[in-house]
Structure 1
Amino acid sequence: MVTTATQHRLLTPGPLDLAAELERGAYSPPACDDVIAELEAAGLRGRGGAGFPASVKWRTVADASGPRVVVANGEEGEPSSRKDRWLLLNRPHLVLDGLLLAARTIGADRAVVYLSHEETVTAMREAIAELPVPGLVPEVHVVEPTYVAGEETAACRSISGGPALPTARPPRVCDSGVDGRPTLVSNVETLAHAAWISRNGAAAYRESGTAGSPGTTLVTLTGACAAPGVYEVPFGLTVAELFEVAGGFTGAPAGFVMGGWFGGLLGPAHASTVCTYEAVRAAGSGFGCGAITALAPGTDPLTVAAEITAWYAAESAQQCGACLKGTAAIRDAFAALRDGTASDTDRHNLERWGRTLPGRGACAFLDGAAGWARTVHDEFPDHFGR
């Protein structure tokens, strides 16, 4: 049985109020001279899904000219993830600590908390009202909960007064984001880790992971496990070891929905895959936001694929033809496969779309739908060809 008791820096038995956070060092000055260098030494990567090095994003905006903005992204439109909501409800001051740290570090004169769930909005407004430090007061910006609203260009567009829909890049938000200003958009978990690292140091952070895999991460484990929920685990455990933290599998998994709904579907053999960004990518999927669903024994992968690609078609921003047509075509082909009415052309098209559609949309949303075509084809050939 894997134990993570010594790793639980972010997760706690219950909500921590301001007094408890202050005892843990919240809002105290960083113990390091160079916060960005410390994040780089720690190997901290963004927890919003892409896993991009946090230090690179922070440094890029810090080096930009003109007034800057920092956004704490807690919109969490991923249907299978609950980690950001857990943090916002239970550790709002840790998130604010990281947000204000980021603002000071990059020289931002505006800080925004970007949210879409009523309970998190309430928790964050209450925490902001009791901030114990003078200076910059973060704003709260609320949007309707959708998947694409969490994309960083959509966040900047919404805060600037437009719809919460992605925009084409370039420009990147680090060059022109909120109101055309250089903007750092950071997931709330990333900010929580950054606050901890600034007080405890890169070395302590790296030691909290496994050999060669620095740090811990929050994961949302659901499906065929004894105790679904949000857990903090060290990087470098296998999928099976992660689910041991959640009480173990309740039966031999039929597969794994990886990285939220963006990483597609991996077969049951991937219980032995190590959970790092690189290893899961090499397996043909992505670790993403750390949400993993274990499919119950006997689950039909085509039924799962049909349901989730139907969700993709419904959630499309409908701003670009490639995405609008591509998600609908993938949905229809999977429905035909599930229903036993697919033609050889349907099968051929799904295989082709899985490899040619990524990168064709204005944002990465289409890549997620295409990933389902590719992974189901590669991981479940017997079902794909029925």
Structure 2
Amino acid sequence: MTGVFSLLPEGRLGLLGPPLGAAEGIDSYLAEGGYAPLVAPERLLDRIAAVGLRGRGGAGFPAAVKLRAVRDAAGPRVVVANGEEGEPGSVKDRWLLRHRPHVVLDGLRLAAAVTGAGRGVVYLSDALAERAVRRALAESSPELRIDVVRTEHTYVAGEETAVVRRIDGGPALPTAKPPRPFEAGVGGAPTLVANVETLARVAVMYSRPDAADAVAGSHLVTVSGAGGGAASGAGGGAALIEVPAGTHLKVLADLCGHGRADAVLLGGLFGGLYGEGWTDLPLDHDSLNAAGGALGCGALHFLGPEDCPVAVAVEAASYLGAQSARQCGVCVSGTGALAKALVAVARGEAGHDTVEKLHRWSRQLPGRGACGLLDAAARIGATLLAHFPDRVDAHRGAACPVCSDAAAEDGRRFAVSVP
């Protein structure tokens, strides 16, 4: 099954509806309780903290902590709705901006009220999303100054310091930290950089305080799968699903036609590969972290029996290497070395020390780059070795007919279209 649908209990308002068709107009959004008058925004912050809303951009950082850090900073402040989806397997942010721009703008308005910010920015790379946001701004005429900044689509363009750098007129490339944006961001001002789904959930929590727990505990998940081996190319149609936290991955796989899957790539390219036991994994940050994976942006790519996990690892690492900002020497050399070693495994050309090097690099490289790209590449290598040691051993001395040519740097296996 492909398309857009919800698994939330009937009667609970989610982010996917209504409507599911064209971009939502302001009349429809107002009828749902949107843009409600601002009353005691500090209570909203307490509510966000009480229900434990976590960011939906990838790291899952507590939203209330980021809001408080900017609120408590001195001087003018800025809030940014980050809609640049770097992960090739994720579509949720573009879908929201294209079809429900008002819920994102409402969340941005509320974040500004909570933090005391006088300026908002919507940051994106998708042309259709930009058109929808500008139309929504013209309809709503917000009191808050809101600018729209478009960037080129790259894996690192959505990293928070890259966002700040691009808004300030520079390239969308990460910078060294500290300072973090909450300390010195856009124009040097304390800045909240929040994912658009996070802001949308803030807006729904404000208009529906009775459903705050359910809103904070639900996730937008992009489900895809090649289903045809390396030769099939792009992953094809995707499903965008809103699900309650704790939904098992097996439920999503069955629902979307991937019930024969042997493995899953978690969190876009950030959460790593997971083999035996994936069917028992529930969809929430803590459970996936405890299992050695990560939810990340909520993108799930399922591998069928005909897919080779080594090929998937090669293509993921090669894509990440090609997407490196090339600012950190350790990232350039680290991603390159990981990809080269995995290509050697796929082609049956790995030496006796190749696997040992992959083990060592996967332990030593995380945390050494300016952004999470190097961490993602290292996790790909580590999880391949942890979950598929027999498959790796089977490639020694003989090229795999499924993945011997796998080295695509364009991410086409993982890329999906917005439904």
Q: Which moved more, 1:353-362 or 1:313-322?
A: 353-362
1:8 to partner: Cα distance: 5.1
Listed one character per residue, the Cα deviations across residues 3-39 of structure 1 (whole Å, up to 9, x for unaligned) are 4352551102323211100001111125766111111
In the superposition, relative to structure 1, how do residues 287 and 239 fare at CA in structure 2: closer, same or farther (>3 Å)? Answer: same
- In structure 1, what is the equivalent of residue 243 of structure 2? 233
Q: Paired residue for 1:383?
A: 391
- Mapping of 1:1-386 within 5 angstroms? 3-6=7-10, 7=12, 9-12=14-17, 13-14=20-21, 15-30=23-38, 34-133=43-142, 135-201=143-209, 204-206=211-213, 208=214, 215-223=217-225, 228-244=238-254, 246-249=255-258, 251-386=259-394
Letter in 2 for 1:216: S
Tell me if structure 1 keeps the 8 A contact 2:8–2:14: no
Partner of 2:230: none
Question: Residues 7 and 244 of structure 2 are in contact (CA less than 8 Å); yes or no, is this contact kept in structure 1?
Answer: no
SS across alignment from 2:363: helix
Normalization by structure 2: what TM-score? 0.86
**C-alpha displacement at 1:205, in angstroms?**
2.3
Give the 3-state SS of the residue equivalent to 2:157 in structure 1: helix
CA distance in 2, matches of 1:161, 1:89: 25
Give the superposition deviation at 1:375: 0.3
Does the CA-based 8 Å contact 1:233-1:242 persist in structure 2? no
- Report the TM-score, using the length of structure 1 for normalisation: 0.93
Alpha-carbon contact 1:175-1:181 (below 8 Å) kept: yes
CA distance in 2, matches of 1:264, 1:258: 6
Counterparts in 2 of 1:8 and 1:241: CA distance versus 1, 3 Å: farther
Q: Following the alignment from structure 1 to structure 2, what is the Cα–Cα distance between the partners of residues 32 and 248? A: 46
Q: Secondary structure at the match of 1:333?
A: helix
CA distance in 1, matches of 2:367, 2:304: 32
Q: Larger RCO: Structure 1 or Structure 2 (Cα < 8 Å, ≥ 6 residues apart)?
A: 2
Measured on the aligned residues, the alpha-carbon RMSD in Å equals 1.8
Structure 1: 5+ residue stretches without partners? none
* Superposition deviation, residue 268 in structure 1: 4.0
Aligned-pair identity (%): 47
Query: C-alpha displacement at 1:127, in angstroms?
Result: 0.9
Counterpart contact for 1:219–1:233, Cα < 8 Å: yes
Shift of 1:179: 1.1
Given the superposition, is the C-alpha separation of residues 331 and 25 from structure 1 closer, same or farther in structure 2, using an over 3 Å criterion? same
Distance 1:138 1:286 in 2: 33
Counterparts of 1:347 and 1:31, CA distance in 2 = 59
Deviations 1:143-190 (A, max 9, x none): 100010000000001111111100111111100011111000000000
* SS of aligned partner of 1:166: coil
Q: Structure 1's 240 and 224: CA in aligned 2 closer, same or farther, altered over 3 A?
A: farther
Assess, with a 3 A threshold, how the Cα gap between structure 1 residues 227 and 162 changes in structure 2: closer, same or farther: closer
Instruction: Quote the Cα distance in structure 2 between the aligned partners of 1:277 and 1:215.
Output: 10
1:338 maps to a residue whose letter is A
Aligned pair count reads 376
Deviations 1:196-227 (A, max 9, x none): 111222x5221x27xxxx52110001116897
Structure 2 segments unaligned to the other structure (5+ residues): 1-5, 228-235, 395-419
* Contact kept? 2:366, 2:378, Cα under 8 Å: yes
Find the residue that maps to 1:292 and give its secondary structure.
strand
